[in-house]
Amino acid sequence: MAKISVLESDLKAEDLCEKYVRGNEFNGIVVSLDEEIDIITAKTVSKKYSSEKLLCSFSISLGTRFFLFYDNKYIKLSEILDLDEKIFKEKLMKIKNLHPYILVILVILREKASNKAKGAEIQLSEIAKDMKLHPKITNEELTNVYNEFYEFWGTTISPISSIAGGLVCQEVTKFCTQEVSDYCCCMFDMDTCEAVTAIIK
């Protein structure tokens, strides 16, 4: 069974992991990538705790949108952040029907993890030009999505949006209670009420 825990304000992500890994109570850990728990901390958690028996999920809130990134035995968040651009692109090319929003989020994550200033639009267009994104999107639209996501990165979700939490939990449960052999990104969009997943084989 997948269990969910709310991170107390005075409890560090590593401490939460230690607490539940030691007690063997959880088979999945969800870490929020916001101002309190930064990407570098999440990368540390990814390296230290992800295994075949324990999945680490990394959550991002952007206004009304939820993004969940799952570690597994093939690819971890730490590896996604550390890969050079060529290998990173090769991995993305293996994704069938990659949603453009997920591509944008991965590029922003890499950007923030390396402490680079905002400005990955050129890199984003270069990566996207050889990919089969679904739905299709122009470079201008892709840049607009990038700017919007960057602006609202880590913003608090509205109370109405929190209703979507139950549906997001269903997605977490799906991945935590069965064998996951691929790297999965799941996005739940309140605007369209749809969940989009991308898989790297």
Amino acid at 172: V
Q: What pTM was estimated for this model as a whole?
A: 0.72
41 and 62 in contact (C-beta within 8 Å)?
no
DSSP 41: H
**Mean pLDDT of all residues in the chain?**
69
Task: Find how far residue 10's CA is from the centre of its chain.
Answer: 24
Residue 2: the pLDDT is 43
What CA–CA distance (Å, rounded) separates 173 from 98? 22
Question: Which tops the pLDDT comparison, 158 or 121?
Answer: 121
Count of CB atoms situated within 10 Å of the CB of 72: 19
Reply yes or no on whether the pLDDT at 7 is more than 60: no
User: Would you call 171 helix, strand, or coil by DSSP?
Assistant: helix
Residue 161: the pLDDT is 46
- Could you tell me the residue ranges of all domains in the chain? 13-200
| Band of residue 74 on the pLDDT scale cut at 50, 70, 90 | low
Residue 73: the pLDDT is 60
Reply yes or no on whether the pLDDT at 110 is more than 60: yes
